[in-house]
Structure formats: C-alpha cells, structure tokens
Amino acid sequence: MSIRIRFGNVWAWADGLTPGRLEDALDQALSYPVQGAEWSLLHEAGIWDGRKHLLRRKDCRFPTGLLMHAVVTLRAIGIEPVLIDERGYPPGRRDDVPEFFVHPPGGKPWRPYQQAAIDEALLVGRGVVVAPPRAGKTLVGAAIVGTLGRKTLWVAPTNAIVDQTARVLRGQFGDEHVGVVGAGDRDTGRRFTVSTAAGAAALPKEWLADVEALMLDEFHHSSAPSIQQIARNCPRAFYRFGMTGTHFRIDGRDMEMHAIAANELVRISVGDLVRDGYLAPALIFMQSIAHKVRAKPTEARKIGVVHHAERNAAIVHWVRKLCGLGRKVVVLVEQIDHGKALSGWLPAGTEFARSGRADFTSGQIDRFNAGEVPVLVGTSILGEGVDLPRADALVFARSGKAATTVWQSIFRVLTAYPGKERAVIVDFSDEHQRLLRAWAQERRRLYASEPSFDLRDVPPLEAASYAHPSLPLS
C-alpha cells in the first residue's frame, strides 16, 4: 500500500489513506486525552471519546509539526510513506536578503550549546531550543533570525518581555530594523517585529501572510489557541522556532506545541549550566508553617496564603534576614492585595511591580538591577522571561503546583553574576491546609528532581525568631 504525505509550512496531508485500521491508527497517534474530559456530558453519553483530534479525517490533514509523529506511526505498522515537500522555499538564505550579525556580549565566543543551537536552527529551519532560563536564549534567537534576515514575527508572552526583547534586538540590529506591537505600540514596518500574542493576533492577515520567520518565546505557551492561530495565519513562514526552559505541559497539551515545532534543536540541563559557571548553585529552604486553618479548596489561597498571619510573618522574617545579609531579594506573591499588605512590613525602599505597563515595570527592573531597590515584590509580571541578574534571593510567597510557573520563577535568581556564589530560595511547605500541602509537596518534588539544588527543610519558627533572625544560610 502506497501512502504519500504532502507537507507545507502549516499543514500536511496523508494521501491514499482510506477509512479503516490505518486511519484509526494515525488518528489515535495524532490525538491526546483532554484533561477533565471525564466531567463532560458528551463523554459520559459516549458521544465524545474525550480526546482532542489533530487529524481531520475528511481530507487526512494534520499540522506539519506532527509530520514525524505520523511517519513513526505508519512505519510501526509496516508502511514507509513517501514524503513530498511542498513548502515555499528550501532552507538557507536568499542572496537578496541582508544579513544581521549578532555578537555575544563582551566579544566572547558563543557558548558551545548556543553555537550548536544556531547551527542546527539554520540547517533545519524548524525546532525548539530547550534550555533553562538565563541560558542566553534571546541572543541565540537574535542570531538565528538575524542570520536569516527575513521578515520576522517574534512573539513573547508579556509586555515586559516584549520590551526587554526589543531592547536586545535593537542593540544588535539598530532601532530602524525593530518594531514593537503591544503596550500601546503598533510598529510593523520593520524587518523584525516583537509582539505579545494578543497584539500579533490582532494584526491584519495580509501582514501575517508575508511573515517568513516565526520565533515563539516561552514556547510552552504555544498550545494556546491564539498562538496556534497566529502560526496558521503565517503560511509563508518556512522558519518556525521556539525557545523555552520548560518543554512540557502539565495539562497534557504537549501535542499542540509539537504541532508548530516538535524537534528539539538542542537541550541543555541546569546542572550543565551550573557546572560551566553560567548559573549559580541554589540553596532552597522549605519553611514549615504550623498554624492550621480550615478552608474550602476555593478559599485555600485567600485564607491559607494571603491572609495567613503566621505565613506572612515568616515571609517578612525571611525578607528582612536576607536583606540584612546584603542579598538582593525578589518576592513573588499570589495577588496584588497580598503584595500591598506585605510591602508595608518590608525594608525601606521596597518596590511593588504591579503595573501592566511595560515602561513602568521595566523602570523598576532597571532600578533593581542597578542596586537602587533592595526588594522587588511582584506577581506573575516578575515571572518568566524577566531579566534580574543581580537578584540572589527569592521568597516564593505564592502557592500552586504548576511546574512551568515554579520553574520559571526560581530561575529569576540563578543568573551567574560577579560575587554571587549561590542563590537562596525560600518556599513554604504549607502543612497548615490540605490543598496547599499537596501543592507544596509537588513543588518540593520538583526541587528534589534537580541534582544541583541543595534542598533543606526548616521547622516552624518560634514567634521570637521572626524579630531576631537566627537561621544559618550556609
């Protein structure tokens, strides 16, 4: 039996696949179980199988990113498909496109894994750079799109990261070649455009149709419908890249990420970067909270986190202690109200990053990085992608178990920096409430899974110790 798979930049089609066992096998391979499907009335009634199907049976169409999923499935049942590449143009540069060279900071050579990622990306034209935060992925991405020199859309998750990325690209390519969409800006007449997903989704389809290279920062977000649609609206984008430190989804939607780009161009571990001096070692304290509370799951965060007196006192204790030791402290909180409540008890000069305006938040980040702000408190706005090289202590005052959120958060303080021998991270084991305890146990397992982390449990603090810090940090 002969099966041809034609593939373009966005879609692939399996020709010669007739209804029956083969189609069922391919359909199963290109689908995944939807989290929570068991609660659906359609699933309960047997109308829906509880899976998200990425193969459209009427014409056997599926996303090009899943091409190798399909090939492996067919080979497993004894069929070698014929692949027909119908993409717009082959990998490589056109002679009429100017090249923008990117140089590592300080005139140093590229790190080996960075050079490997750049070389592989230019050779293959599609894939994901998987490396922890602080691995220099933005510069790697800039080197990739700069070498290609094509009309590029770079999508980042927040206005703050858009602003930060645009500054890096403008520093390399010049202001005249980099435009920004987001936070009130809409400058799309440049060679490179950096945008939030919401901003890119609102761009005219005619503009998106001419995009030749797509770079998706924090690629683990790419399963979102808005980013999926952006990728589909860029049919000429032969080059499709992602960058992430967490190439997985806890909701099982990994396959939708793979639909855009499945292959990993390079993977670098935390231990590798610590060993080579690019990340600081981490000392992680799990502070026990003793005073139990009764709260419904829907009120666990409010009662057990935001308004829990002992927990908040412990947060203040740790921040004061770390500041007293000369640490530059980042505090990540659950809600804006939580940050406001804590800020009044924290050291003088503490700033609370709560604005959605990129210019306001970036100003606070700049002051923190310049050493003018001792403590920076924020919600998720200080999470993934925010560059805080001088930060060497994190108080994770939030709760939750989402591995991607936790992973991205703790790396805010692991950037290697002169004088930073190790970073200190404080989390809370939250034994005082059932749901919070389960979440804290998930976070603890995540920390314990990284061999380079030094994880220590801390018993509940005596009331007097809140005012007189005495726990060692060595």
**Nearest-angstrom CA–CA distance, 271 and 269:** 5
Q: What is the pLDDT of residue 408?
A: 76
Per-residue pLDDT of the chain (474 residues; tens, 9 = 90+): 679 999 999 999 999 887 787 889 999 999 999 988 888 999 889 999 999 999 999 999 999 999 999 999 999 988 999 999 998 765 555 566 666 778 787 778 898 999 999 999 999 999 999 988 778 899 999 999 999 999 999 999 888 889 889 999 999 899 999 999 986 788 888 999 999 999 999 999 999 999 999 999 989 889 999 999 999 999 999 999 999 887 667 677 889 999 998 888 998 888 889 988 889 999 999 999 888 888 888 888 888 888 888 899 999 999 999 999 999 999 998 888 888 778 778 888 888 876 555 455 668 888 888 888 899 988 866 655 577 888 999 999 988 877 777 877 888 889 888 989 999 999 999 888 889 999 999 999 989 988 889 999 999 876 444 443 444 443
Chain centroid, CA 357 distance in Å: 20
Q: What is the pLDDT of residue 61?
A: 96
Q: What is the pLDDT of residue 294?
A: 83
Q: Hey, what are 28's tokens?
A: 């199963």
Q: What is the pLDDT of residue 464?
A: 40
CA distances from 347 to 98, 320, 343, 378 (A): 51, 7, 8, 15
Q: What is the pLDDT of residue 2?
A: 77
Q: What is the pLDDT of residue 355?
A: 53
**Nearest-angstrom CA–CA distance, 152 and 188:** 10
**Nearest-angstrom CA–CA distance, 394 and 381:** 15
Q: Hey, what are 184's tokens?
A: 């009130």
Residue 41 exposure: Cα atoms within 13 Å on the Cβ side: 0
